[in-house]
Structure 1
Amino acid sequence: MTAPLPRHELGFLTVGGPTVVIDVAGLRLVSDPTFDAPTDYGALRKTRGPAVTTAALADTDVVLVSHADHADNLDVAGRAFALAAPRLLTNPGSARLLGGPAEGLAPWEAVRVSDAATITAVPARHGPADGETDAAGYVNCEVTGFVIQAPGTTIYVSGDNTSLALVAQVKERFGKIDHAVLHAGRATVPAKFAGRPLSLSAERASAAAQLLAAGHVVVAHQTGWEHFVDGPGATHKAFHDAGIADCLDSTPEGEWSVVG
């Protein structure tokens, strides 16, 4: 039987796709869990499995789901993992899709998840600013990001957000952002918005990092799926070209980046 991974006071581990494990303030959080083996879902195709198994994360306290509408952010195994977690936070529409224990948070709504930590849902836009909206008024679908606040630490998790204006709102609302988990990859689906990006490109991830002035940036959502255009190489180049490569976390998937 696989034992849970050792915990850290503050650590980040990328699993592949959008999935990141965050240990902070005695808690273990997993964002946008995707644990399927390589799979063709029709519109999307997963090309690589996770670097860490669900069994190794069985002690997870909180799962964060930016949206439940797309397999590249919540696949079949990831959905089962999320629904089995002690606490599952997402946006209101995704909470209705998931049912069960899912808690839907509106933008800027905050909940305490322990005596030491608070999580706030923050706005996100899953496509171009002028993109056609769905029946509920969302570009592509309803998506949320999250800000995790614990003593001495503020962490921003972007979700599938393309909007630098919304990143600026997060910065204005929370001030100092110590760590940022950005979904990049320049996700592109030809049938949507004429193939324009559905997530941050490498260059826009670099711009978001500069807006946030975060000293430590983890870029996820750039490997393991066929529709991710900008991989780690493009990300590193964009951060290097902007002169901020020192804030980019290049720890390989499946290995801990322990901070402090």
Structure 2
Amino acid sequence: MTAVPTVRVFGGPTALIEYGGLRLLTDPTFDAPGDYPRGGGRFLTKTLPGTVDPADLGPVDAVLLSHDEHPDNLDHGGRKLLADVPRTLTTRGGAARLGGTAQGLAPWQEVELGGVTITAVPAQHGPDGCEPVTGEVIGFVLTGPGLPVVYVSGDNASLEVVERIAERFGPVDTAVLFAGGARTGIFDNALLTLDSTRAAEAARILGARRVVPVHFDSWAHFTEGREPLLAAFAAAGLADVLELA
């Protein structure tokens, strides 16, 4: 097996994964702090800027965009970046809305890119039945000859979904888990992403050798940050797999 993939985290859900000769960027968010109106007098509030200027990223072969409908996954700066990226892999609806180089994928659909297989996998952005409200979301699994398996969860709150992915692809070498325990008051304030305890359980289900959490800082509706992640993985006996910058 080749060397462990490089994962650089830039705040929120944004990370650069170097894998099999490719440079892949997850949900790009680069804006300064501010409010994003969501209708009905509601806002999503960004509290911290990203830690990288898009101009300093270097070449990006593809964006792995879990969904386009929420600004904490694709903000104004992220949308601008998409125009300069050769390919954006996202949901079918997202590709139709974004146009350009966006390519829509259904769950379990595969794309070959530079000798790497990118498989779209299911994600559930809230409790059962949430899709009409929260929209279609996907995650991604990266595989290739002689390469370790990498899982990018996207905004997923369901451990049942994680179990289905583990059945097909486990054990996973590196899991990039969207955590943070996102809650916005909808669905009786149910989780919209994994909280820290569920992220640790997801790591166990996947048999992950390494977990790189994202999506746990920079936005007001992320309810759990660094310390809860450290505590949850320690309580699960998985402190050694957690990689926090």
Q: 1:238 deviation in Å? A: 0.3
> Are residues 249 and 9 of structure 1, via their aligned partners in 2, closer, same or farther at CA, if it must alter by over 3 Å?
closer
- What is the rounded CA distance, in whole Å, between the counterparts of 1:237 and 1:160 in structure 2? 22
Number of aligned residue pairs: give it: 237
Q: 1:129 deviation in Å? A: 1.8
Residue segments in structure 1 that go unaligned for 5+ positions in a row: 1-7, 252-260
Q: 1:176 deviation in Å? A: 2.4
Instruction: State the percentage of identical aligned residues.
Output: 47
Work out which of the residue numbers 182, 204, 207 in structure 2 matches 1:210. 204
Note the alpha carbon deviations across 1:169-221, whole angstroms, 9 max, x for none.
Answer: 1111113211000001011101x111111000110001100100110000100
Aligned pair 1:37/2:36, yes or no?
no
Where does residue 93 of structure 1 map in the other structure?
A: 93
- What is the rounded CA distance, in whole Å, between the counterparts of 2:79 and 2:226 in structure 1? 26
Aligned pair 1:233/2:232, yes or no?
no
Does the 8 A contact of 1:147 with 1:157 survive in 2? yes
Instruction: Give the TM-score normalised by the residue count of structure 1.
Output: 0.88
Note the alpha carbon deviations across 1:48-102, whole angstroms, 9 max, x for none.
Answer: 1111110111311110100000000000001111232011100101111111110
**One-letter code aligned to 2:25:** V
Work out which of the residue numbers 141, 149, 157 in structure 2 matches 1:147. 141
Where does residue 197 of structure 1 map in the other structure?
A: 191
Q: Which runs of 4+ in 1 moved over 6 A?
A: none
Aligned pair 1:186/2:185, yes or no?
no
- What is the rounded CA distance, in whole Å, between the counterparts of 1:87 and 1:226 in structure 2? 30
Where does residue 61 of structure 1 map in the other structure?
A: 61
Does the 8 A contact of 1:9 with 1:26 survive in 2? no
**One-letter code aligned to 2:224:** D
- What is the rounded CA distance, in whole Å, between the counterparts of 1:167 and 1:188 in structure 2? 20
- What is the rounded CA distance, in whole Å, between the counterparts of 1:64 and 1:16 in structure 2? 16
Aligned pair 1:219/2:217, yes or no?
no
Work out which of the residue numbers 151, 155, 162 in structure 2 matches 1:160. 155
